[in-house]
Chain A
């Protein structure tokens, strides 16, 4: 097939015109030569050829692709026709742009978080190795488990271990030490992730063995920012925690460690774990990923891991993992997305509703417009336009509207997604630094395009078919004034309004439930006083913090120096904070029978120093707080919270008992039993919407050395300071006091406890804010919809209203009649919406706190709100109905 046919159409047409002229001349010549008179010859020649114009048109059409030609013509026509009604066009464009804009914004986040594959080679074969228990799955691992997992060579190519760099390290040697995110990894970590190496190499097996030397691999970012991208950095030593580390390599820029791996930020550098592979340490302090063998499915690997769990139980004893527990694997991407899928899909549904409401409005506008254009369309039909042609032309109009709206929506979405990310609590995985990973890629563009076209067809099809069906003769004969709301179309418009009211009500009910949740959460007493308390993290990964005495000294000195600062009321520290989380540990209550169980129970477990409780103002219920005499030389003590006391001493007195902490947790936690010396108030350790857990507290100064070493490796030392006034003003003096006390260590993550609480509630605030925005948008559009239908119906019924007035109807009667009709629509929408909400709010259940999914307050208040809005929206057209002048109305006839 040659494209010659479609090229140079205009030139070829001119050529043909001349050619036809020439033909006629020759034809005429021939006839004259036969003796026909010139006039007759002229006539005959033309009769023989036929209409030259038709010939040219035929060739022109042959040179065009028919439907493109037609659509282009329809588009030109649509532009003209839409231009004639700028008011309608602008409103429809705005509604579509907003609807598509919010959809584009939410979809581009979903695209990044849920849909885009991970940035590693063959990401589908990467799996997170897990413990599977009756309470869910977690990724904790220890060396004995790693050994067993690595033996599953039938399903795994390799298993690598890494931690979250929780404690961080201090990059020293410069003027100012800098805290960096240091991740411990096994030597094969880089190979399993398929990490590109920009310079040098990664770790050898030798370097990842005990006493393998201090070596480090740098991230591209740190290498650029701190070492100026100097290639000579590889082979040099850098100072980490005042120890020399040999830089063996730099990773490629593309390699990202995802935030959701538990770290607060991207890894800056990697050091080898140097595991003793004979370790019997049962505590979980790292996590593992595996690469599946080619062709092995997650299900196959999962089945194999069940056998591995049995093997583990045989090797390490019946209590090494719980009787119903096992091992398993999960696709790495699925694991990272985790619980983020559902809220994102709920958001997508919400914006889908907003778009549907918008569509209903645009469809209503198009129906009204089609009525007003009935004569025009009938005239076109009379001039020979087929039904299909009229439908096509109207569809082209609505699709052009929606595509233009879509382009505007794309711009709105691009801006909107930045707003969305600014609102987001920052704990969505995979978004990159400040959401850099969220881009308008081809998927988003395709999504927006398809949604735009579908919107155009959805909005335009029914009005178009309706218009094309109309009766030619009556339409032309009728005045355009009276050609309005036919019964069927009136019903259609009313059902659209009912539908959008119902959708808006569902959105508003969802938003209200989240508002109520937020206020309930905000009303929860966290168990401590957040005001004027600042917290910060100090990495204690250096050598001198491997023994408890080293930590105890920093804890004591730092607390003393802080308390001596003017304006400081109290100071303390710990390896966990309320609202931030902490660790868990098993324990026995000495002398209490525990039956077949390996230990009495498990609870939250924090080690604290200084005046931790006083600083946070956690109330003392009984006994005493820790003091400076509870050090390594003194007898072991433990403080529990009220929840702990209630659960384990429902009748007895905890202060008379002793506890053995770390039962079955391995030699690291081996220590003598501790006396319970105090009961303090409950604090919400994880978040306000979860009940306060039972927690036991020990003094940092009393931990076994091995446990201190483990703590220093996995968690930073968190400092808290209560000040008399705004702590922000004191950050400099606090950090310099801590630097003096610690021999120059920096602190990071400086946040007031109010900010910590705010971050903790950020998720609820995010969900609530977005649903409020979408609910308000939906409500506004629905109100516009009701207004539009009622205003239109009043306008169409001017005559009827005039007659009624002439027959003596009172203005109030007419007004009430119109309002009543509007409110019937609203009522139907409310009934439908309440029903839909009853069914749909169950999907919100997991995000609610302190309110039921069928919360009566919400289900009464929101329909009332909707009714008021609908009343306002019908009020204006109702007023207009009363102002109809009977004479003018009748004269319209």
Chain B
């Protein structure tokens, strides 16, 4: 066998990433994925073909310079790799962990046609972790341009917009409604997928190092109005990234019974308020048997959190497993950990006992009909197929609608029927001059990376607006 053949054989499969054993991790909140070490990263990086026309980049919402940073890893120039990444992303340690790479950059990788795509996400994560551990942050020379921009919300959209604007010389202040910065990175995504102390806080600190100020406990639209930000506090432009809002419910009988929670509430109590820790004051309920309704990433996060708190946990989803909107990796991890998937059924009633505590969920079986306009087969109820499963807790993970607080209290800010703030697709400017929008507030529930992409786009829109002003 010649040398060339060995290389080709190796290239078909990616370097496996080490993970915490499923049985062990099901009982703790430590990170599931352990990431590559240097040797593994260099080996994986060597699989990259360095295509002349790199398709991976086109799959990335923030246009990360993928072949370039992978090349640096291959040559063990890890600090150069992080500099390459920082040109387009402010949160690589986050993105390397929570981006759906399999449908973005990695889906476009040429190696994926015959074998496995380059593990771009894990490489990004490696570089970001390496940089943090070796004290290399995003330091670029900044010349202040004297203009001020207010950013509403410190989630992924707000942070990425603030980063780009700060690098362009703007004085940026982020206003955060909660007591801690990070938005969904802090209140939504659990510790075992995205560690707070280790990853989220340092990445936010990196953004602050660029001169970005973060003021917590300020609800724009309540504590201060858009008008006041412009006229009294003299900001030249505003970026609204207020994120997701009200959780959706099913409007079925019994839904207000004790023991029925939105995924937002359950996850906020666990992640933001750390309710599962004895030394924190916020209480969190944990059932013995928990039903999580929904099939997205949030449903996976909620179910895996409940499982870690000791509950037998089921996912109830009205379509089949094939249609689950969650990332494949999350579904896979959930199953490994012991989450039970009850697909093709849907709740019709929450049954409570005499004290109004949840006792069971009445489900109806579903079958799949014709594909809808988005190509997803429509679930149809099978008449007379109702059955009950006993449980003492139900978590609704059905999505959210944009937070109405700001749009309701801002005259002239136009929204669509769902409450999403209307905006120009190119510049992201809203119906109000100098006010831009991005992330969940603009398009409803989406992913961290799409929000970051929107933040970058808005930064360009704002830059153009203020340059021409």
Q: Is B one of A's binding partners? A: no
B residues near A, CB below 8 A? none
A residues near B, CB below 8 A? none
